[in-house]
Amino acid sequence: MGAFNWAKGWTDLDELGFVATSDDDLNLDSEFLNVSTRGQVGPDAEEELNIGFIITGTIPQTVYLTGRGPSLAGAVSTTPLDDPMITLVFQVTQEVITTNSSWEDSPNQSLIQATNIQPGDANEAGIVETLPPGGYVLLVESESGAFGIAIGEVYKYE
């Protein structure tokens, strides 16, 4: 792994945070492989997790995206989101690329299983998608409008 630096900040710990990374040495063969965030999700648009990521270069990349909630019960949260739904959006046009609310119903279920880090509950979301270079947003929302703690994850699929 190459030399990365990062910055983090919050306007309020309960509201908005950011993490930025950059590679200090463009001659290194380094890459960012995973990012995740955890937070409160609810019925309103302001109560969703937003994970922005950029695919650089000229070659499409395959990503594995998850929205977890029920598997957080006990160890991570006493109030996990019981029905996370994820939506992948192309940032420039706000076009919805795909959505999922149950990884077991994903058209790429076998690819998700092959990761060996598939969601731990059938009510958790998963997507594997090959994307051209550009900016994207993964939204983690409540499918039923419930409140709870969820985790959204973006992995480079290998």
How is the chain split into domains, by residue range?
Answer: 33-156
Residue 6 has a pLDDT of 40
Tell me the mean pLDDT per 10 residues along the chain, length 158.
Answer: 38 47 55 80 84 91 95 86 95 94 94 92 96 95 92 91
The rounded distance, in Å, linking the Cα atoms of 141 and 114 is: 25
For residue 132, CA distances in Å to 16, 59, 61, 153 come to: 28, 7, 6, 19
| Whole-structure pTM value | 0.82
Residue 7, token pair as written in the block? 């910055």
For domain 33-156, the CATH class is mainly beta
